[in-house]
Every structure is written in structure tokens, then in C-alpha cells.
Structure 1
Amino acid sequence: MRSGDDPGGQQAPLTERGARTRERVIAAAREVFEERGFLETRVAHITRHAKVAYGSFYTYFPSKEAVFLEVADRLFEDMTDHDLVPATGPSPAARVRRTNRAYYEAYRRNAKMMAIIEQVATFNEEFQEMRRKHRAVSWGRSAKAIARWQKAGIVPSDIDPEMAARALTAMVDHSLYLWLVQGDDDSHTERLLDTLDALSVRALGLPT
């Protein structure tokens, strides 16, 4: 369990009760950010929603930005828990399809917060860096899997594993952003997912 930060930067070990309170603050912060957006949220909104004293917030976080980074870090861990190209499964193409569906479900769970994240990504450099690191972990694992498939003769050797992983990740991620955050017609979700599957499989030259 991480220690709490006070406004002066001193580390304070958390008691069990303190850890529970910290979790309550994080959960409340996410709900308030989703309701009000990042710019309109104040620490007072978070503490009121969490039912904790205003000063208690600073036992755990030095600022609104710090708790937002914690919320976003946890969200990205949930979003990138699945590789674009996992190492095991019934067949390479089936693994891609399974992972695209898992990512869609994770994105759907987090769609409200993803909308806020896109907003903050335009002006917060610390957040941008954290986001880049999470994405690099995700496509990096996928690139390694593609390279393994090349050695096994499943994926053509002239495909750059890193660039392929980056491109496929961007395609799926941005498509789901437009679909779930910008509010495209969700009655055609299966068509979208089937198309993302087909494009991913064919881009890698995987047998179907």
C-alpha cells in the first residue's frame, strides 16, 4: 500500500483505516470527474462526495491533479490488461478477436472517464507521459507476440512488429473512442468489432 502525501511532500504511512479512506477518496474523485469534468472539479466536490473532511484529502494527495493521475493510472491498467495479440489461445486469429472484444468491454466500462482523459491529455504533460508509458507497455507486448509469430512462420517476415502493433493499437483505440465517447450508432457495434477483427487479422496475414 502506498503512503499518503501531505501538502509539504512528507510521506505518511497509512493505517488500515487510512487506506480505506484513501480508496474512498479515489472512488469519489472518479465519480466527480465523470460528472463535472476535470476543469470544473474542485477538491471540495471530491471530499463532499467521499464524505471526508476537506483537510483529510491532503493526507493522501497533494492536489486535484494527483488524485486524477491515480484514477487515470488505474483506468489504464484496466484498459491495457489485455494484449492486442496475446501469446496463447485456440488460434492466432481467434486470440485477436477475443482480445478486441475484451478491450471493447474495458473501454465501454471506462467510456465516461476516457472522455475526461482526452480533455486532460491536451494540456497536462505529466499525464501525457503516463499515458504514453501505458500505451508503450500495451503495444510492446503485442510487438513481441507478433515477432514470435514471425519466427513460427505465421506472420510474414516483412512486417515490422513494432509498427504493426502501434498501428493496430491506434486503429482499435481511436475507433472505440469515436464509437463509445463521441456517440456513434451503437446498434452497429458488432459490425464495427467484426470489421476491426478482420482488419487486424488481415494486416498480420494470419490464417483464418
Structure 2
Amino acid sequence: MSKSSANTGSSTPPVAALTARGRKTRDGLLDAARKVFEDVGFLDTRVEQIAQEAGVSYGTFYRYFESKEDVFEELSTRLFEDVHRREPLDPDLSPAARLVASNRSYYQAYQRNAKLMAIVEQVATFNNEFRALRHEHRRKLIERTSRAIARWQEQGQVRESLDPVMAARAMAAMVDHTLYLWLVQGDEANEENLLDTLDRMCIGALGLDDEGLLS
């Protein structure tokens, strides 16, 4: 992503080169930026607001970040890393159980990041570079899901007629949009019923045996 410093034109130091105090200040700026973005949105956020929220000077911000776009990019990257992170699963779990466990991990991460996710989705509609970042993280999720589907097809547990990539894309779109309407747009829904329904639809779409998981 292109970056331009508003005061010096010089690049900011890499995180690895910072002192413990410097890392603490930088982390404080990230926390402050997230709060300001979530409170007022991307377009209305100003660097002065971030610095004030962090309790540092305007100039201090530019020691660590080159612009509000710079700090938003890092927050967005951290967001997607959190949303797409998966804990190792028991290798003995059935495909349906693995799918449900993976879905629930995604639901929980989306829920705790819903405010920032809403802003990221908004910015991606008018900023090409953030749109590319969003697409890259979505691509990684789809690739992981499609590999699992292809593996289950080889094991005879998913219909061979399904295109793994298209199936992964369709499932991701269904889940993402449902969570967006619920957690961001405020559509009313019973949480457990909604999540159970999404799990059932994903399992059913692949033709997996749910083994009574959702009964």
C-alpha cells in the first residue's frame, strides 16, 4: 500500500528495531486508532484524534505510522489474521465435526471484531488497495476450505460433482453475508439457532453425514 508521511517524508522504523518502550507506544497507538475508527468511522478519523486518544503528541504518531491509512492497514491485517486463525483440531474428528469447529471459530472471531469488520468492508468499497487486501484474505480462506473439500471428495465423503473452489466460495459468501447482516446491520436473530442453521446448510451443501452433531 502506498504511504506518505505528513511531516518528514521518511519511513517509519521496523517494529523489530523498536525498544520495549517504543513497542508499547506503538501498540497504544494501534489500540487508540481502533477505538477512534470504530467510534467515528474511517473517513472522519483524523491523526490528531488518534494521538489524543493514545495520550501522545501529534508528532509521536508519525514516528510509528506514516498516515491514518498506514495504521488502518495494520489493523485490517491483524483483524483478518484473527478472523482466519484456526486452532489445531483433533485429527480423529469427522469432516462434519471439523467443519462445525472451524465455522464456530470463525463466528466467534467475527463477533468480537464486528465493529472493525464493518469499517473494513465499507473502506473496501471505495479504496482499491484495501479492496485488494480484503480479496487476498478471502482468497486464503477459500483456498483452505477448497483443499479440505477436495480431500473429503477423495475420501468419498463429499459429492464428486461439486467444484471445490466454487463450493468454498459459495459457502464463504453465505456465512459472511449472514454474519454481516446479523452483527453489523443488526438483523434480529437467535444466536444459537442462526449458527446451527449455518452449520446445517454448510454440511448439507457438501452432502456430509452430520452424525447427529446438530440434532
TM-score (norm 2): 0.88
Paired residue secondary structure (2:200) = helix
Q: Is contact 1:42-1:64 (8 Å) kept?
A: yes
Q: Which amino acid aligns with 2:83?
A: M
Q: CA deviation at 1:88?
A: 3.8
Identity of aligned residues (%): 55
Q: Is contact 2:36-2:49 (8 Å) kept?
A: yes
1:15 and 2:26 matched: no
Distance 2:104 2:147 in 1: 21
Aligned pair in 2 of structure 1 residues 172, 21: CA closer, same or farther (>3 Å)? Answer: same
1:65 maps to which residue? 69
Match 2:131 to one of 103, 128, 131: 128
Aligned residue runs from structure 1 range 150-189, under 5 A: 150-186=153-189, 188-189=190-191
Q: Which amino acid aligns with 2:156?
A: G
Q: Is contact 2:12-2:65 (8 Å) kept?
A: no
Q: CA deviation at 1:15?
A: 2.0
1:35 maps to which residue? 39
Distance 2:193 2:40 in 1: 33
Aligned residue runs from structure 1 range 49-128, under 5 A: 49-82=53-86, 88=91, 90-128=93-131
Unaligned runs of 5+ in 1: none
Q: CA deviation at 1:93?
A: 1.1
1:44 and 2:38 matched: no
Unaligned runs of 5+ in 2: 211-215
RMSD: 1.8
Deviations 1:125-161 (A, max 9, x none): 1111111111111110111111111111111111111
Distance 1:56 1:7 in 2: 12
Length, aligned pairs only: 201
Q: Is contact 1:93-1:206 (8 Å) kept?
A: yes
Deviations 1:52-96 (A, max 9, x none): 11101111111111101111110011111139xx79452111122
1:25 and 2:26 matched: no
Aligned residue runs from structure 1 range 187-206, under 5 A: 188-206=190-208
Q: CA deviation at 1:101?
A: 1.6
Aligned pair in 2 of structure 1 residues 7, 128: CA closer, same or farther (>3 Å)? Answer: farther
1:143 maps to which residue? 146
Distance 2:187 2:92 in 1: 31
Aligned pair in 2 of structure 1 residues 11, 40: CA closer, same or farther (>3 Å)? Answer: closer
Deviations 1:26-74 (A, max 9, x none): 1110011001111111000000000111101111111111101111110
Distance 2:90 2:177 in 1: 24
